[in-house]
Every structure is written in C-alpha cells, then in structure tokens.
Amino acid sequence: MQDVALLEFESVVRPGASPWRRFLRDLLRRKVAVVALAYILLFYAVGAFAPLVAPYDPNAQNLSVESRLQGPSWEHLLGTDSLGRDILSRVVYAARTTLLFTVAVLVTGGLVLGLGLGLLAGYRGGWVDTLIMRVGEVLAGIPTLFLMIAIAAAFRTRIDDAAYWLRQNTFLGQDAKAFLDFVIIVGVTVPFAWVGTARIVRSQALAIREMEYVLAAEALGASVWRIVTRHILPGVLPLFLVGVSGGMAAIAGVEVSLSFLGLGVDPPTASFGTLIGDGAGVRTFQAYPHLLLSAAVPVVLFFFAWNLLGDALVDILEPRMQAR
C-alpha cells in the first residue's frame, strides 16, 4: 500500500510532457547553441576515433631538410613541425588527450564527487554539510598549478622509475610514461574539480528538500535513496548541467596549461599545450605561423563552444527553475 501511495503521489507531482523533450526542443531553437554543440561533438568524435582520422603516425619523424617546418600543403594539410611530424595528425591525437582528460575528470570529480557530495550535503545538512563544505573550502584554497609543480619537483625520479617498471612489466609498453603522466594530472585535478559542482548542487538541494512534495514523500515513509533520486535529483540536474557546461572549458584548460608548462603529459604524446608551446614565440610565429595557429584555433574554439553552450543552457533552464 505504501508503494502504491508513493506512485500515485509521484504521478500527481510529475504531470505533463517529458522535461527532456521540452529541453531538446528549446535547445534546437537556439542556432548558436546547436553550432556550439555540433563542434563539441565533432571535437570529441575526432579524438575518440583518432587512429582512423589521423592521416599519419603523429610521432613519425622525418628529419630531412625539405620535410621539416613545411607550410600547409595537400600532402600535409596543416604543415609539419621542426621534427617533420604531420601537425594535423598531432592535432587529432591532442584532441584525444583532451577527450580522455575531460571525461575522466567529469566522471570522477563531477558525477561521483561533485554531484554525490552535493546531494548528500544539501539533503542531510547538519554536520555532514559542514564537514563536506569545509573540506571543499580548504581544497579550493590550494592552487592546482602549485601542487603540480611540487609533485613534479619532488617525485620526478620516482615517477620515471614507476614508468620504467610499468613499461617492463605491463602491457602498456612505450605508452607507460604517458599513462602515468595522465593518471597523475587527473589525480591532482579531481580533488579540486568537485568543489564548484558540489556547491551548486548543494544550494539547489537545500531549497528542494523544503518543498511540499519532498516533505510529503518523507511523510509517506519513502526511503532516503528514493527521495534523493526521484525527487531531489531531477530538480538539481538543470543547475548541474549548467555547471558542467561552464566548467568543461576550465577543466580542459588545466590540462592544456600544465602541458604548456611542461607539467602535463610529456612529449612525444600529443597535447594542445605542447603543440602551442612548440609554436610560441614572436620569431617562431612570424616565420612559421602554422605551428601556433593549427593548435591554438581548434582548442580556443573548443573553449568558446562550451561557454556558448553554457550560456544557452542558462537561458533554457533558469526560467524553468524559477517557475519550479
């Protein structure tokens, strides 16, 4: 009888058409958002299928004079770098690096920690809320870049030894160093990536838990899991999506910045940070502008697309949350 009452209650408070269908309809009406979303999907598709998209091996070198620092041509659409490597292939594999990093940080820092801890703090309140938020404030006060510099300086020898062991004893082979670098920058970024998301989710969960339908579900004896997943989570998701869309550019920027400074993935693994670093410098840009532009333009458009999509999501979802 209790389950029947809960189902009847939920059918009353959740009437009408699917909110996701309305959301997609509103999103498709905004041409700028559609273009931004299309570019993001294209960017991630290129990264996901990098071995099929790249015309050459991104690490294949050709040190002959005529092959180095070529401008764009039909053979090499974006030219070649100082080692004779095809820049288009390296840009494609750099997109894969960004894809892996952003997805790994989003799943661990955004979904698992950010959404989970935000819901827990907002619904439970009390000392649980205080503990989670105070820990978040402490972590937010530690600069990620400073921590990466400290780790790189203190543990560089151990990192190299661990990479050598992985190369000799696992299936990773020559990719062991790149894998270890990737794990380190993700592991350092995740503890800080959840703080902003948790704050957004917590603020909305605090408001929703006081609404009548949540109080009614508690009075009917619904479990905490059912209340959080069926009543609070749907109301939190709009703000969570807005926060994710606004934070993805920043997450990708962390990897690009660290690689640019030599603290991220090490060459020859392709990253937009290392590619931009290869083309940076006034003289280099004047003589070989394709080195910088071929890497900077795609990643800048990637950041811009996420920001445009975030603005569109705010326009779509904020009025609905106010009406709620």
Closest alpha carbon to 102 in 253, 277, 240: 253
The Cα-based distances of 152 to 186, 270, 275 in angstroms read 14, 19, 20
CA distance linking residue 217 with residue 220, whole number of Å:
5
Phi-psi region of 262 (alpha: psi -120 to 50; beta: other; left: phi over 0): left
Asked whether residue 162 is domain-assigned, the answer is yes
CA distance linking residue 28 with residue 23, whole number of Å:
9
Each residue's pLDDT tens digit, 168-202: 777 777 777 777 877 878 877 887 778 888 888 88
Q: What is the CATH number of the domain that holds 136?
A: 1.10.3720.10
Asked whether residue 89 is domain-assigned, the answer is yes
Asked whether residue 27 is domain-assigned, the answer is no
Q: What is the DSSP string of 88-142?
A: HHHHHHHHHHHHHHHHHHIIIIIIIIIIHHHHHHHHH-HHHHHHHHHHHHHHHTS
Q: Domain range for residue 175?
A: 38-62+75-323
| Prediction pTM value | 0.81
- pLDDT score of 102 more than 80: yes
Q: If 0-12 CB within 10 Å is exposed, 13-18 middle and 19+ buried, where does residue 265 land?
A: buried
In the DSSP assignment, the letter for residue 70 is P
- pLDDT score of 221 more than 80: no
Find the radius of gyration of the CA atoms of the chain: 24
Q: How many domains does the chain have?
A: 1
Asked whether residue 153 is domain-assigned, the answer is yes
CA distance linking residue 131 with residue 56, whole number of Å:
51
Q: What is the DSSP string of 253-313?
A: HHHHHHHHTT-SSPTTS--HHHHHHHH-SHHHHHH-HHHHHHHHHHHHHHHHHHHHHHHHH
CB atoms within 10 A of CB 20: 9
Each residue's pLDDT tens digit, 254-288: 888 888 887 777 778 888 888 998 888 778 888 88
**pLDDT value of residue 180:** 80
Please, which pLDDT band fits residue 93 given cuts at 50, 70 and 90?
Answer: very high
Phi-psi region of 277 (alpha: psi -120 to 50; beta: other; left: phi over 0): alpha
CB atoms within 10 A of CB 83: 16
CA distance linking residue 99 with residue 36, whole number of Å:
16
- pLDDT score of 4 more than 60: no
Which range of 43-52, 156-165, 282-291 scores highest in mean pLDDT? It is 43-52
**pLDDT value of residue 320:** 47
Bond from prior residue into 238 cis (ω within 30 degrees of 0): no
Q: Which two three-digit tokens encode residue 62?
A: 């050709």
Asked whether residue 4 is domain-assigned, the answer is no
Asked whether residue 110 is domain-assigned, the answer is yes
User: At a CB cut-off of 8 Å and minimum separation 6, what does 131 contact?
Assistant: none
Closest alpha carbon to 159 in 29, 14, 17, 265: 265
For the stretch 138-142, contacts whose Cβ atoms lie closer than 8 Å and that sit 24 or more positions apart, written own/partner, are: 139/191, 139/192, 139/195, 140/192, 140/195, 140/196, 142/192
Phi, psi of 92 (to 5 degrees): -60, -45
Q: Which two three-digit tokens encode residue 10?
A: 């939920």
Asked whether residue 22 is domain-assigned, the answer is no
Please, which pLDDT band fits residue 323 given cuts at 50, 70 and 90?
Answer: very low
Please, which pLDDT band fits residue 156 given cuts at 50, 70 and 90?
Answer: low
- pLDDT score of 207 more than 80: yes
Asked whether residue 137 is domain-assigned, the answer is yes
